[in-house]
Structure 1
C-alpha cells in the first residue's frame, strides 16, 4: 500500500543520505585531517551487505513498488471519485424527487384545506339558518299554545251554560274543530322542531369534525411547507458532497 511504500522510500532515502554523508566525509579526509587514527585489522572486517548491483536493485525495487502503489492509489481515487460522483448525482435526483413529492403533497393539502374552509363556511351558515328556524318554530309553538288556551277556555266556559243552552251549535262545533286543528298543528310543529334540533346537532358535529380537520391540515401544511421545505431550500454542491471543502 501507499503507506508501506512511502515508509520504505523514506528509510531508503535516510540510509542514502547517511551513506552520502559518510562517503563525503571520507572523500574529504586528508593526511592533515583531524580525527584520523589507526584501526588495526579493520581491512579484514567485511560488514557489507550488498554489492553495487543489489544496491541499485534495492532502490529500483523500492521505486517500482512506490510507482505501483501510486498507480493503484490513483486508480482507487479515480474509482472512488467516480462512485462519489454517481452518488452525488443520485442524491440530487432523490433530492429533486422528494422536493417534487413535497410540492405535490403541499398542493393537495392546500386544496383540501380550501375545500374544508368552503364546507365549514356553508355549515356555519346552515347552522345559523337552522337556529333561526328553530327560534321561529318555538315562537310559533308558543303562539299556538296561547291560541289553544283561548279555544279550550272558550269550550270550558261554554260547558257552564245552563240546561238547554248546552247546545251543540255551530260555535261549539267550530271551537272543537279549532282545538283539534291547533293540536294537530302543534304536533306537526313539535315534530318539525325535533327534526330541526336533530339537524342542528348533526351540523354542529359536522362543524366540529371540519374544524378539527382544518387544524390538522394547517398543521400538516406548516410542517411540510415551513419546517421540511424550509430545511430543503439549499442543496450542497458536488464539491462539498465529495468532501473537498
Structure 2
C-alpha cells in the first residue's frame, strides 16, 4: 500500500529527486492492478482542483505584483531620465557659462596681442630708424669732419656733441632692445595662455556636443547599445570641485597675463617718449654747436679775407715803394757821378791851387751825404724787398687758411648740416 501511495504521489506531478533516488536502494513493487478504486479517483480529482486553484491564486498575486512593478519601474525610469536630462541641461549651462568666461578672456588676450603687436612694430621701426638713419648719419658726419685740413682739424665742441649723440643713440637702442625682449616674452606667454584657453574651449565644446547629443537621445532610438563589459562604465576621475578649480585657474591665469601685459605698453610709451626726447636734445645741442662753429669759422674766414685784402694792398704799395726806391737810387747815381766828377776835376788842380776851399768842402760833404743817402735807400730797398717777401708769404698763408676755412665750412655747413636735415625723430 505504501508503494502504491508513493507511485500515486509521483503520478500527480510531484518532482522526483533523481539524486536521492540514486542514493537509495530500489524496492521492487509488484505491478499494480489495471484499475483504480473510487476513493483514489476522488482523491486525485480533489487534489487536481486544489492545485489548480492554488496556481490561479499564485498567478493573480504575481500579475498584481508585476503590474505594480511595471508601474513603479516605468515611473522610476521616467523620473530618472527627467532628473538626468535636467542635470545634463544644468551641466551644459555650467559649461556654457565657463566657455563664455573663457571666450571673454580669449578676446581680451587677442586684443592685447594685437596691441602688443603694434607696439612691437613701433619699437622695430624706431630701432631700424636709429640704426639706418640717425647712427649712420652721425658717424658719417664724424668721418666727413675728419676731412678737415690744417689747423681746423681740431677736437671742438661739435665733435664732442657728435660723440655724445652717438652715445645717446646707442643707449636708446639698448633700452629699446631690452624692452623688445620683455615685449616678446609677454607675447609668448599670452600666446601660450591663448593656446591653453583654445584647448580648454575645444574640450568644453566637445563636452557640450556630447551632452547635447546624449540629451537628444530617446529610449526608442535604434542607435542605443547596452554595455556588457566588466570595467566601470564611467571612467571619470575628476571631481566637480577640481573641474571648477581648473576652469577658474585658467580664467585667472588669462586675466593675470592680460593685466601684466598692460604695464608693458605704458612702459614702452614712456620709454619711446623718453628716448625721442633725449635724441631731440642731443640733436638740438649738436646742431647748436654746429651753428656756433660755422659762425665762428665764417667770422675767422671773414677776418682772414680782410687781412688778405689788406695784405694785397700792402703788397701793391710795397711794390710801388720798391719802384720808387729804385728810381731814387737811379736818380742818386747821377748826383753821385756829378759830385765825384767834380771832385776829380778839382783834384787835378796844381801847386797852390790845390786848396781846401769851400766848394771842395761842399763837394766832399755832398759826396758823403750822397753815399749815406744811397746806403739808406739801399737799406730801405733791402727792407722793402724783405717785407714784400714776407707779405707775399703772408698772402699765401692767408689764402691757404681761407681755403682751409672754406673746406671746413663746406664740410660743416653743406655736407654735415644737409645730412642732419634728413634726421627725423617722431613718435613711433
User: Which category of TM-score, normalised to the shorter sequence, fits these structures?
Assistant: 0.7 to 0.9
Unaligned runs of 5+ in 2: 1-188
Does 1:229 find its partner at 2:420? no
Task: Give the corresponding residue for 1:220.
Answer: 408
Higher mean displacement: 148-157 or 20-29: 20-29
1:243 corresponds in structure 2 to: none
CA distance change for structure 1 residues 21 and 209 in 2, over 3 Å: closer, same or farther? farther
Shift, 1:48, TM fit? 3.3
1:64 positional shift: 1.1
Contact preservation (8 Å) 1:151, 1:178? yes
Aligned mates of 1:23, 1:150 — CA distance in 2: 147
Cα 1:47–1:153 change in 2 (3 A) is farther
Is 1:155–2:343 an aligned residue pair? yes
Question: What is the correspondence of 1:135-146 to structure 2 with a 5 Å cutoff?
Answer: 135-146=323-334
Change (3 A) 1:183 1:45: farther
* 1:26-105 paired onto structure 2 within 5 Å: 31-33=221-223, 40-41=228-229, 44=232, 47-105=235-293
Aligned residues: 238
Q: TM-score, normalised by structure 1?
A: 0.80
> Do 1:85 and 1:238's aligned partners in 2 also have CA atoms closer than 8 Å?
no
Instruction: Classify 1:136/1:183 alpha carbon distance in 2 versus 1 (closer, same or farther; 3 Å).
Output: same
Between the aligned partners of 2:213 and 2:323, the Cα distance in structure 1 is: 122
Q: Residue 187 in 1 paired to residue 375 in 2?
A: yes
C-alpha distance in structure 2 between counterparts of 1:156 and 1:29, whole Å:
162
Task: Summarize the Cα distance change of 1:159–1:58 in structure 2 as closer, same or farther, 3 Å threshold.
Answer: same
For the residues of structure 2 that align with 1:12 and 1:150, how far apart are their CA atoms? Answer: 132
Question: Are residues 1:209 and 2:209 paired?
Answer: no
Farther-moved stretch of structure 1 (16-25 vs 93-102)? 16-25
**Deviating more after overlay: 181-190 vs 221-230:** 221-230
Contact 2:197 2:250 in 1 (8 A): yes
In the TM superposition, residue 124 of structure 1 has moved relative to its aligned partner by 1.2
Task: Choose 119-128 or 216-225, whichever is displaced more.
Answer: 216-225
Partners of 1:210 and 1:48 lie apart in 2 by 100
Residues 276, 427 of structure 2: 8 Å contact kept: no
SS in 1 for 2:238: coil
**Long gaps (5+) in structure 1:** 241-245
Q: Secondary structure at the match of 1:238?
A: coil
SS of alignment partner, residue 427 of structure 2 = helix
Show CA shifts across 1:37-69 (max 9, x none). 776528526543523332232222112111111
**Could you say which residue in structure 2 is the equivalent of 1:106?**
294
Q: How many angstroms apart in 2 are the aligned matches of 1:21 and 1:164?
A: 164
RMSD across aligned C-alpha pairs, in angstroms? 3.0
> Which of 71-80 and 95-104 deviates more?
95-104
The alpha-carbon distance between structure 1 residues 160 and 2, as it changes in their structure 2 partners (threshold 3 A), is same
